[in-house]
Structure 1
Amino acid sequence: MEVSEASHRVIADLLEARTGQHMSEGRRWRVTTALAGLFREQGISNVDQLACMLAEPGTEDLSKRVVEALLNNETYFFRDRAMFDQLAAKVLPDLARKRFATKRLAIWSAGCSSGQEALSVAMLILDQPGLWKDWTIDIVGTDVSEKAIEAARDACYSQFEIQRGLGVGQMLTHFEETPHGWRAKRNLRTMVRYRQRNLLGPVEIAERFDLVLCRNVLLYFDPVRREAAFDRLAGSLRPDGWLLLGAGETALGRTTRFRPTEGHQGLFVRTSEHEAQQRHVITHGARRVARRGSS
């Protein structure tokens, strides 16, 4: 059954309002599949009917469930392994030197989904005990999805989930088998704290981090929201900290707040305020020229 443009717009606007995510034409194909379970629960069969229900008063709970269903929570341990190798070989030793005087390290996993990314970083640290002896390590995982944060806090994974990205040695070292699945051991679980948080929402706390991982999140934003997200990330990162983006993401040409590090995929550092202003002038000047040329 063909779905009306108006109904798709209702769903897309709801997702964008709640999460900042833009539903491009390329993402529309998965809407019906993602909402299939909700259709069955509500006794309906298509997006048009759902859009009509959302127009009724008192549908806040339904709206939340629609958004949850549409969010892509795909993740696994050590996703894009080469990037975690960079963290272990370059970024974490660099931060160990820079923060040696205070022996305090703060890390933010933005868009942490069900916790595998944040726990992967924690495992890197636990696997380098000599480097981090007597340090205070604070890892924060945030995600817009309430269900994802609940799963992350539980830190219990199915056989399929635990085998995605983990070798047998890591699995047995850092997890224990329970009747409900493989649960992160206490020393690993307590390294990470989780919050439900919208990357574009109001700033609840003025934390500053030494390392921020924001992978496969910004690709769902339109250019305006993506630039706002980069501003938020820059404001949350210490001047000499590191930003790690996803394998298919870049800050180049998207923001003046970050510049890439040569020879390292996905790794970016903050630009100075002076450099950011210069980049802003150059970037926006180029855009004006391009607009005049196309008119």
Structure 2
Amino acid sequence: MDMNFGSQKIIADLLAARTGQQLTEDRSWRIGTALSGIFRQIGISNVDQLVCLLDQPSHATLSQQVVEALLNNETYFFRDRAMFNQLSDLVLPQIAKERRQERTLSILCAGCSTGQEALSLGMVLLEQKARWAGWKIEITGIDISHGAIATARAGTYSQFEIQRGLPVAQMLAHFTETPIGWEANEELRSLVRFRVHNLLDPMPAIGPFDLILCRNVLLYFDAATRRRAFSRLMESVNPEGWVMLGAGETIVGHTDQLALVKGGIGLYRPTGSRLEANFMKRA
């Protein structure tokens, strides 16, 4: 076996073991590019040398750095705007109706990366203040990447990041320009908390969630890992709650515990919940 190919497989196996994500052979080209910063930092030039270092007894920190470098943290504000419009115009009003007695709203963003998705949801809610007056609202963002969660908690974004998907009016309403970037205002930050957590592990003592967003996360799992991820989601969602997947993701062959909301975009409810036939007709 070619040494470089064997080393790439070891790196791919490390990523799969830690995160469940599959770095298939046709995506192995990412390894050298993604790890180039680590190569420079520790004074090596290739994957073979890296694997030798990972074989040392005190490799835990380096292993974590490698895994985090390989994770796909692509995100931006209001990514897939049509899905956020669906949440704003249809799903959240329906949740407000269904939970008007409890007046609590709990949302999970799984695979939240550097926080833009969770903060986008926060902006949607703040722009519906009359609807949510007197409610207890909490948005939780989880991600396996320590670096991504650190960025999310800081809530400060570069000019490039803040302009990706965020109209000027919302940027000025919810962020303040500082010497180090655009910082989310306290009112927005107070709605969201972030924590390092692997979706495949049992959820900490939080939830159940009325709405779970798990978009563009399952794409990187094999079939068995997707089934495991769906099991974790079903442990965490309110029996009368909602789950939103990425537009290119599906439950077919992975779980029978969710039912597609007709006319929705990547939108599901737990099997047996009170699905309203006329839900999408109110669009």
Quickly name the TM-score band, shorter chain normalised: over 0.9
Contact 1:110–1:142 (CA under 8 A) maintained in structure 2: yes
Distance in 2 between residues matched to 1:79 and 1:7, nearest whole Å = 35
Identical pairs, percent: 56
Contact 1:252–1:260 (CA under 8 A) maintained in structure 2: no
Question: Is 203-212 or 182-191 further displaced after alignment?
Answer: 203-212
Contact 1:211–1:241 (CA under 8 A) maintained in structure 2: yes
Show the counterpart of 1:47.
47
Show the counterpart of 2:38.
38
Indicate the SS of the match to 1:213.
Answer: strand
Task: Tell me whether 1:255 sits opposite 2:255 in the alignment.
Answer: yes
Cα offset, 1:26, TM superposition: 2.5
Equivalent residues in 2 for 1:1-295 (5 A)?
A: 4-205=4-205, 207-272=207-272
Question: Is 68-77 or 258-267 further displaced after alignment?
Answer: 258-267
Unmatched tracts of structure 2, length 5 or more: 274-283
Indicate the SS of the match to 1:4.
Answer: helix
Cα offset, 1:247, TM superposition: 2.0
Distance in 2 between residues matched to 1:3 and 1:161, nearest whole Å = 39
Distance in 2 between residues matched to 1:24 and 1:268, nearest whole Å = 29
Contact 2:177–2:183 (CA under 8 A) maintained in structure 1: yes
1:49-107 CA distances to partner (integer Å, 9 max, x unpaired)?
Answer: 11111111111010000001001101000000000000001110010001111110000
* Cα distance change of structure 1 residues 3 and 181 upon mapping to structure 2, 3 Å threshold: farther
Cα offset, 1:3, TM superposition: 5.5
Contact 1:3–1:47 (CA under 8 A) maintained in structure 2: no
Give the TM-score, by structure 2 length. Answer: 0.93
Show the counterpart of 2:281.
none
Distance in 2 between residues matched to 1:3 and 1:217, nearest whole Å = 31
Cα offset, 1:43, TM superposition: 1.2
Contact 2:118–2:192 (CA under 8 A) maintained in structure 1: yes
Distance in 2 between residues matched to 1:131 and 1:156, nearest whole Å = 28
Distance in 2 between residues matched to 1:154 and 1:220, nearest whole Å = 27
Distance in 2 between residues matched to 1:237 and 1:161, nearest whole Å = 30
Distance in 1 between residues matched to 2:220 and 2:226, nearest whole Å = 8
Distance in 1 between residues matched to 2:26 and 2:130, nearest whole Å = 47
Show the counterpart of 2:280.
none
Distance in 2 between residues matched to 1:154 and 1:206, nearest whole Å = 22
Give the TM-score, by structure 1 length. Answer: 0.90
Contact 2:201–2:232 (CA under 8 A) maintained in structure 1: no
Q: Runs ≥4 in structure 1, deviation > 3 angstroms?
A: none
Distance in 1 between residues matched to 2:3 and 2:266, nearest whole Å = 38
User: Which residue identity is paired with 1:203?
Assistant: M
Unmatched tracts of structure 1, length 5 or more: 274-295
Indicate the SS of the match to 1:172.
Answer: helix
Distance in 1 between residues matched to 2:249 and 2:159, nearest whole Å = 30
Indicate the SS of the match to 2:182.
Answer: strand
Cα offset, 1:221, TM superposition: 0.7
Q: How many residues align?
A: 272
Contact 1:77–1:117 (CA under 8 A) maintained in structure 2: yes
Distance in 1 between residues matched to 2:214 and 2:129, nearest whole Å = 26
Distance in 1 between residues matched to 2:56 and 2:38, nearest whole Å = 17
Cα offset, 1:206, TM superposition: 5.0
Cα offset, 1:161, TM superposition: 0.4
Distance in 1 between residues matched to 2:94 and 2:134, nearest whole Å = 17
Contact 1:3–1:46 (CA under 8 A) maintained in structure 2: no
Distance in 2 between residues matched to 1:251 and 1:163, nearest whole Å = 33
User: Which residue identity is paired with 1:52?
Assistant: C
